[in-house]
Amino acid sequence: MFNDVGSQSVPATVPVSPRNNKIFFHPVRLDAGERVNRERCILTDGSLCRTGVINVISASPDDGIEINIGFDNSTEYENWRSKRLPDLENLPVLKFEQGELREHVEHLYKSSNSAIDDLAVFPILVGKTDNPDCYEILNRPGKDGLAVYRSAKRTIDGNVTDVRVPSDYGITPFVRVWRVIELIFDDIGYRIESNPFDLDADLSRLVVLNNVADACCTGWLHYRDLLPTVTVESFLNALYVRFGLVYRLDSNTRTASLAFVRDIVTQNTAADLSGFLSSPAKINYLNPQYVKLTAQTSIDGAKPVCSRFEDFIDGHDMEGIRFGSDVAGWNWNEDRDDFEYDWPDYNENPDYPDPDYPDPDYYTSRNMTAARKDMKPSSGIIAFEVPTCTWSKLDRTNGKVITSGSSFFDWDPATPGIDVVELSSDDEWVSVGRVKSPILGVNEIMPLFLVGSRHCHTYIRGNDCGDREDNDTVETPLAFMFAFTQSSECRSGTIGRFSPLTYQNKNITFPDGTSHTLSLLFQFGNGLFARFWKEYDEILRHGNREIETSMHVDKKVLDTLNALSPVTVGNIRCLVDTFSYTLPSDKTVSAEIKLRTISTQGNYDIDSERNIPVLAAFDPVSYHLKWELESSDIDSVTAAAGGTGVALSEWYRQHPELMTQVAGPEWEPFRAVKLSVSLLLPTWETDPANKDIMWEGQRKYKTYHCSAVYSICPVIFNDADNPSDYDLNSPVGNVSLKLKYGVCLVAKMERD
C-alpha cells in the first residue's frame, strides 16, 4: 500500500566455504557455468518457514559472498520491470479448422459473455486520412455481423489503390483485463485467490485494445498478438492508478491475493497488535496530502482543452451546461427568444376586437441558465456532447464552437496548503467519435485508436505511408475500453466505450435489465476517483500519521500479518508499512514495526474539500429527462380562426337565414370573439408517443386538437365611411370549432 520495496532480507555475508560455494554455484569463479541469482530457497527457523529467492550481490575469496533473499512481491518486481506482456510464457494459441475462427469471432461480436468469454470484438478506427475511403477500421461492422475485407485501400504514388488482403484480414479480438491478470500470475506459477476484475460485472467488460490487422489471417489466434507491447510493470501500474489494484504474493502457498485500495481501508481488522507492543509508540504527523491521477494523452483526439476540469469550467455554473449530441451541428439564432420571432403572425388582423399592444421579449427555458454573476465577460457557453463525452465552449452570440476537447482531464483538485501524491498511469486515453465513410459503408461511433495498424503475419502497406505501418516501428500502446455486448445502444453486436452514457443521458442497459454504471473518466460520481480513490484520499488528508514501535510476537503470528490486512493498535485502524526482525530467534521474535493509520481525525467537510463535480449526465440516478413545452401556436391559431372568418363561416352554416344580412367582407354585421379554449385529448403531456427521449436539448414538433368557443356579436357601425369605427353589441349566440395547433417540445434534464 505505502511502498514498493517488497519483503526481503537485509544483505548478509557468508564465508566462501566449500559448502557455500556449492550452494551458490561457485559465485567467486568467473567461469562459473550456472547462474547464481534467482534460485529458490527455503528459510527456516523453528516453526517459521519462508520460501524466497536468493540474490547474490557480490562475491570474492577474501570478502566472502554477500547475499540477500527476496520474499513474496519482491521476487517478481525486477522481473516484471523488463518483461513485456507478449513475452509471457505459455500464452494461449487457439487453433481452428477452416472457417471456425470466423464463426468464433462472429459469436464474440454478437453474443460475448464478459464473465465467461475472455475475448471481445467491436469496431475501432486505427488509421485516419483526409480521404474517408482510406480509413483503417478493424472489426468493421457489416449488414449481418462483421464485414468481409476482400481488399484494403492504400495510397500508392499518390493514388488510392485496392490491395488484395488474405481471408479474415481486418479482424482482431480484444483480451479482457481479468484474463490478462490471470496470464501474468500464471506466468510465475501463482494461483489467484480471487480476481476482482472477473467478479465485478462492470470491470469484467474491460478490455485492452490492440491494433493488429492480421491477427486472424493464419487461422490460429495467438494471444501474444493481442497484448499491448508494454511491460508487466506498466500494466499493473495502470491498474493501480486507475482502480487502486494492489496484490500480495505468498511464496509459501504460491497464491496471489488481489484487492482494491478502497476495500482494504474499509474492511474488518485481522488482528489487534496492542498486546504485543514492547515500547511506547512514536507518532509521526505527516503533512496532509491529496491524490492526483493522470494518464497519457498522446493519441490524436485524446487531449482535453486543459489538464484540469476545474480550469475548464472556471467562471461557469454547472447548472448552466447544455447537453446534447453533435454539438457542432446545433442550430442557433440570436433572436430565438424574441416574441415576434417565435410568433410572427400573432395579432396581425387589425379588425380583431382587442387592441394591439406591443409585446416585449420574454424569458424561456432556452435562455442561458448559468448564473450571470459567475460568468466572465470573455467566457462562452459550456456544452457537453453525448455519447462522445466531448466538451465544447460556444460563442455566446452565435453559438458556434470556439474550442472543444475530450473529457480526459487529470484528477487534480489542487487543494491549497497540502502536498500532492501524484499517481501517473502509463496507459493511453482513447476517445470515441463518429466515423463516416460511404465507400466502406460505415457511419458509427467507435473508439479512435489512431496508432496505425500493426501486422504480425503479413506486410500490407502503401509506399506513401512512410514508416507508420512498418512492423518494426508500429507498437501497441496500452489502452483500456469497455466492451458492451447486446446493449441498449447496439442490440445486435458489441460496441466499445469508455463511458456508459447513451444518447438519452442514461446508463447503457442490457437485456437482463442490468445497467453499466462505471466510467473510465477520473471525474464525476461514476468516475474512477469517486469509485476507487476517495476513501484513501480522505485518509491522506485527515489521517496521515505514522506509528513506530517495538513488539515481541510469536513466530506463528508472523504468518498472519500482511500489508493488505488492517490491524488495530490502541483502537486505531492501521496498515503495516514495514516490519523488521532478526533470525534466528527464540519462540518469540523481537521486531521493529512501522504502521500507517487508516483512521481519520478531526472535524472537516470532505465533500467541499474534494469537490467532486456533479453533472446531470454523469448522475442518472438523481436526474431524468422530461419534455417541456417550448412554444405553441394555439393562441395564434385560435385568434386567426376568429379574425379571418372561420368562426363566422361556421355560424352562418348553422344559421343560413342570416346570410341575407351579409353586406360584404368589411361590412359583416357580426364579429366572432374568442370566449374559451379547451385542449382535446391527447395533449402533449398525455400523448404516449412522447415517452421516448433521445437526449437533452432534443426538440419535437407535434400537432394536436383543441376546441375553441366564440361569441357571435352584432356590429354597430359608428361611421359609415370608416369601417374600423365600430362597437360590439351583446352576443346573439356561440359557435364551437375543432382546430389543429402545433407545439414544440424540448427535452430538459430535471432532478428527481
454, 325 contact by CB (below 8 A) = no
Residue 459 exposure: Cα atoms within 13 Å on the Cβ side: 5
510 vs 508: CA distance, rounded Å: 7
Q: Copy the grid coordinates of residue 54.
A: 536468493
In this predicted structure, the answer to whether residue 616 has a pLDDT above a threshold of 70 is no
Per residue in 636-669, pLDDT (tens digit) is: 999 888 877 788 888 888 887 766 554 444 446 7
Cα gap 689→682, rounded to integer Å: 10
CA 530/CA 614 separation, integer angstroms: 11
Give me the amino acid identity at 183.
L
534, 527 Cβ separation under 8 angstroms: no
Q: How far is CA 589 from its chain centroid?
A: 49
> Cα–Cα distance between 481 and 483 in angstroms, integer?
7
Contact at 8 Å (CB) between 746 and 622?
Answer: no
Rounded to whole angstroms, how far apart are CA atoms 553 and 580? Answer: 12
Per-residue pLDDT of 538-561, as tens digits, reads: 999 998 899 999 988 887 777 777
Average pLDDT of the residues of the chain: 81
pLDDT tens digits, one per residue of 106-140: 999 998 898 899 999 999 999 888 877 778 899 98
CA distance 442 to 485: 19
For residue range 468-478, list pLDDT tens digits in order: 444 456 789 99
Question: Burial of 543 by CB count in 10 Å (0-12 exposed, 13-18 middle, 19+ buried)?
Answer: buried
The pTM (predicted TM-score) of the whole model is: 0.75
Helix-then-strand count for the chain, H and E: 17, 38
pLDDT value at position 632?
A: 93
Q: What is the CATH number of domain 268-287+531-610?
A: 2.40.30
pLDDT of 28 reads: 85
- Which residue has better confidence, 40 or 253? 253
Mean pLDDT on 606-632? 75
Helices (H), 307-424: 309-313, 339-342
Q: How far apart are CA 21 and CA 14, in angstroms?
A: 10
CA distance 143 to 314: 46
Which strands make up the sheet holding 381-385, listed edge to edge? Answer: 322-324, 381-385, 390-394, 401-405
Angle in degrees, 0-180, between the axes of helices 74-82 and 232-243, rounded to the nearest 10: 110
DSSP code for 530? I
Bond into 584 cis (ω within 30): yes
End-to-end C-alpha distance for the chain, whole angstroms: 39
Handedness of CA 463, 464, 469, 473 (dihedral sign): positive
pLDDT at 317: 67
- Sequence ranges of the chain with CATH classification 2.40.30: 268-287+531-610
C-alpha cell at 589: 521474535
